[in-house]
Amino acid sequence: MIIYQIILFSIFSLVTYSTVIRTQNTIKEFKINQYLKLKLENGRTNIYVKNRMFRQCMYLLLNIPVTQIEDYEEIDSIDEAAEKLDRSMERDHNIVSPEEEFMGHSSNLQVWAESGYDTRILHRNIAFPLLKRLTEVGDPVAKQVFKEEIALRLSSGHPTVINYLIQNGYLKYLNVEEFESILDIINPNLVEEVSNRIKNSIDFVQNGDLNPQINYIIKDILKNFGLEHIALIMSKIIDHIPQASKSPLVRATYKLFKNQKRFPLIQFVNQNLHHFKDFDFEFDFIRYKEIIVGIFKDEKMYLRNQNITNITDIGGSKGKLDKVKELDLSHNHITNLEGIDKFPNVKLLKLNNNRITDLEGITNLKKLEGLYLRNNLITNLSGIRNLMNLKSLDLSGNPNIIEIPEFFNEFSFLTKLRLWNCNIKNFSESTSKFFWMDQNYRYYTGYSQRDKDIYERTHGKPASQNNALYKHFVQWVFKMRRLMLEKGFTLTDIENFNRETPQRAIWSGTTTLLFRKWLFNKHQKKITDFL
């Protein structure tokens, strides 16, 4: 006997009209939420986002023999399923009726929405365009997870998904920090390919005008990545071309893009200063121990990768440091924040990838709105307690952070808190909102392998993927903890009950009648044994 699992997805394109022509046929409607609904109209399933229609143009129908289901347990997404499973039934659209197809779409999109728009649940061709559209119309959940889903799927290593996201320009939606974190993952051959093209162009032009060739190559790259990422991309490319070609390339790139608004002029010039010898800049230079390490312009200062150890040794033109509003000291060797108070008006401070252990000294930066401390060695967070204007805080990659402090509740403007790859085990009910913010729950550590084993056995689905937890599993852990305290049972009791009976111990978030009777009998037996 063969059982078929029907997995339907649609690719929808935005239609310029929103009027629905009603015929004598009944229009069935399935509402997912206030932003998303489906309608069965004239035998066709259509999806509506904020009352504007997307039109279905294809669907996916997968054939899974029941005898082979276990062979596909490692499949993590519909994209993988579409590549590995039998799609031969798609040629016959009569296998599935319009009503069945409508219910399939409705069910899939409902699960997708209830799972926080997890893009693994739908095929990439519908998941990302639809999530993008939901973001554009103001869906708060979509706006929160859109860029995170892009980064997570890029880091999954699935080549088809990665190529889709690159070719359709989704990397443009990532900021510099997010783009940097996934650049080495998305395509290891990308830098080498571009470097070879540039080397060939330089060899061909020789003493002529290099700009037209560089212009063509760089613009070809940036149509998928965005001009704001040019500094980071060029820093990778420069390492792969001949020494004699590096300065001409840097200068040509600078001349091409220096007047464009999205070009990260300060960052680009700063990280390529040694290629601008005898170049006439109208900038104020920043020095570290008398060595030029950056420039000051537009109240911004980028000092990444400058081997800075002590902030106190940073100097510049008189009266310039206290005008800095955006400061990037990432990828240095800073261990403490002594001297950071020489930047009293800074609003955005990046200290990612240093060796900072505590935050003493930062407390006087009262105007600070964005603080990025990813990948440090921070244990004590009390130093930021008085930063009442904080809107964004990134503490990811600090394994010594094990709890969410109560004083975070005092940050009335804080809307973004990232605790990825920390070691969060404890938080109170009042700070739980931060735990669920920005998908921090994916990196929760207050569970055991036994929790995962029981969950996966009783639910028939994985608790995590690539060391990141699924939301349903984390919610289940918390529910089980509360339930065990209320009802007085343990995970061992569940395991023993399951060995003795095929019935469920837990159903709809509470203990079943059979399990409660089993617990009562067990308790009575203990009393009898004692007597």
Between the alpha carbon of residue 99 and those of residues 27, 33, 41, 64, 106, the distances in Å are: 11, 21, 10, 21, 10
Which pLDDT value is given to residue 7? Answer: 42
First-to-last alpha carbon distance for the chain, in angstroms, is 55
Contacts of 384 (CB under 8 A, 6+ apart): 359, 362, 363, 371, 390, 393
Domain extents in the chain: 12-149+166-173, 174-262, 451-530
Which tokens in the block code for residue 270? 């700063």
Residue 316 and residue 291 in contact, taking contact as beta carbons nearer than 8 Å: no
What is d(CA 415, CA 419) in angstroms, rounded to the nearest whole number?
13
Cβ–Cβ < 8 Å for 443, 415: no
Number of residues written out for the chain: 531
Per-residue pLDDT of the chain (531 residues; tens, 9 = 90+): 222 333 443 333 332 222 333 334 456 899 999 999 999 988 888 899 988 887 644 444 444 454 554 554 555 566 665 555 444 444 445 677 888 888 888 888 898 898 889 888 888 888 899 999 999 999 999 988 898 888 888 777 677 888 888 778 888 888 777 777 677 665 556 667 777 777 777 666 655 566 677 777 777 777 777 788 888 888 878 877 888 778 878 888 888 888 887 888 777 887 888 888 887 776 677 888 877 788 788 888 889 888 999 999 998 766 788 899 999 999 999 999 999 999 999 999 999 999 999 898 898 899 999 999 999 999 999 999 999 999 999 999 999 999 999 999 999 999 999 999 888 888 888 888 888 888 888 888 888 899 999 888 888 889 988 788 998 899 898 888 888 888 888 888 888 888 888 888 888 778 888 888 888 887 776 555 544
* Side-chain half-sphere exposure of 80, counting CA atoms within 13 A: 13
- For residue 66, what pLDDT is reported? 47
Q: Which residues have C-beta within 8 Å of that of residue 480, sequence separation ≥ 6? A: 451, 491, 506
Identify the pLDDT of residue 84: 52
DSSP strand pairing (36-41 vs 44-49) = antiparallel
Calpha distance 378→184 (Å, rounded): 26
- What six digits make up the tokens of 120? 């693994």
pLDDT computed for residue 12 by the predictor:
35
Could you give the CA distance from residue 360 to residue 382 in angstroms, rounded to a whole number? Answer: 8
Helix (H) or strand (E) holding 108: helix 98-114
Three-class SS string for 346-357? Answer: CCEEECCCCCCC
147 burial class (0-12, 13-18, 19+ CB within 10 angstroms)? Answer: middle
| Spatial distance between the Cα atoms of 162 and 313, rounded to a whole number of angstroms | 43
Give one DSSP letter per residue of 129-196, joined into a string.
HHHHHHHHTT-HHHHHHHHHHHHHHHTTT-HHHHHHHHHTTGGGGS-HHHHHHHHHHH-TTHHHHHHH
